[in-house]
Amino acid sequence: MRKHRILFISTLLLGAVVLSGAVFGSVYAERDPTAVKPAVWLQVSPTSRAITLNPGDEYDGEFTVSNIGSEDFVFKVYASPFSVVGEDYEHDYLSEKNYNQIHRWITVTESEFSLPVGESQIVKYHVSVPENAPGGSQHAVLFAESSGNNTPSSNSSGIKAVSRVGMRLKANISGETQEDTEIIDYSVPALYVSFNGSQVTATSKIKNTGNVDAEAKYSFIINPFFGGDSVFSDGKTSLIYPESEYKHNAIWENTPLLGLFNVTYSVTVGDIVRDDKRVVLVMPAWLLVIILVLLTFLVIWITLTVKKRRGLRSRMQF
């Protein structure tokens, strides 16, 4: 009996060791950097920088590019204009705007670097502000882009991988500035009907015709109509670029199929505040159809009843 017990315990311990090895082995495999890393993978730090300059100023800055991929590569550095397109703010790195001229004022000490795996490179840049530079906000991106000169691995097809990362540079140039923003659209519908499930949504649009960035703050809060804690709350801050219009959509993704709620949507930009509270009814489309059908039958029934009573009264008079 004792031998059987010792054999059982030994087998149990051996199984535990094997199992632990399998578990830790799978965890290690999941964390194996060579198993998931692409060949060319750049990382930049910091990702953005904000500075304040005067016309005629000189500024020297730097950022770090790291090789977190699986192969050595060569990368180049250059400055591009940064602007936004459309009310959804798609990024544009080609168009020239009044607020992205700073890319012309930027030079880099070196424009091309070789970077081995696991190492980092400090990139230095210089900003020379013209004496006649206009006041206001300026935006650019300093890109680090692999040149495709990386050496492919032995099992590679020979296709050169290219990767690009950028550091956003925002500069406030002193001088004549103009802050001019307005809320040109604001909407919180009171009824939401959908076949696939409604999503309570509030929208607004801000227009910036000035030459400096504006900060917009948004607040979207939903409370049960009959009281209680908030069922949804969301806040956001956005940068509104000069010469642009930005549309903000506040969406309650997990809106229930049926409910009555107090919805508060607040938009603040500069000294302008729009803060409205609405009672919002949410219902599925099939329920609305049933209600409309019942109301239709009710109206028909009331109409027929009234006509019938009028007919009886007219006969009684004769």
- Give pLDDT tens digits for 252-289: 988 888 889 999 999 999 999 999 999 999 887 666 67
Number of H helices, E strands in the chain: 3, 19
The pLDDT tens digits of the residues spanning 110-144 come to 999 999 999 999 999 999 999 999 999 999 999 99
- Report the chain's mean pLDDT, rounded to a whole number: 84
The number of angstroms, rounded, from the C-alpha of 74 to the middle of its chain's C-alpha atoms is 31
- For residue 60, what is the enclosing H or E element? strand 58-67
Identify the H or E element spanning 306: helix 285-317
Dihedral, 223, 229, 231, 234 alpha carbons, nearest 10? 80
pLDDT at 108 over 60: yes
Please enumerate in sequence order all residues whose Cβ is within 8 A of that of 135, keeping only pairs 6 or more positions apart, or say none: 173, 174, 175, 176, 177, 211
Model pLDDT, residue 287:
67
pTM (global) more than 0.85: no
**Regarding beta strands 191-194 and 232-240, do their DSSP bridges make them parallel or antiparallel, or are they unpaired?**
unpaired
Segment 204-227 mean pLDDT: 96
C-beta of residue 252 within 8 angstroms of C-beta of residue 282? no
State the pLDDT at residue 150: 56
β-pair partners for 146:
75
Which residues make beta-bridge pairs with 143? Answer: 78, 166
In the predicted structure, residue 70 carries a pLDDT above the cut 50: yes
pLDDT score of 170 more than 50: yes
144, 65 contact by CB (below 8 A): yes
Which structure tokens are listed for 167? 């550091």
- Whether residue 23 is predicted with pLDDT greater than 60 in this model: the reply is no
pLDDT of residue 161: 61
Q: Is 296's pLDDT higher than 80?
A: yes
- How many CA atoms lie less than 13 Å away from 172 in the CB half-sphere? 10
What share of the chain has pLDDT > 70, as a percent?
79
pLDDT at 27 over 70: no
Q: Which domains, from first to last, does the chain contain?
A: 34-152+159-173 (2.60.40.10), 181-286 (2.60.40.10)
Above pLDDT 90, what percent of the chain? 63
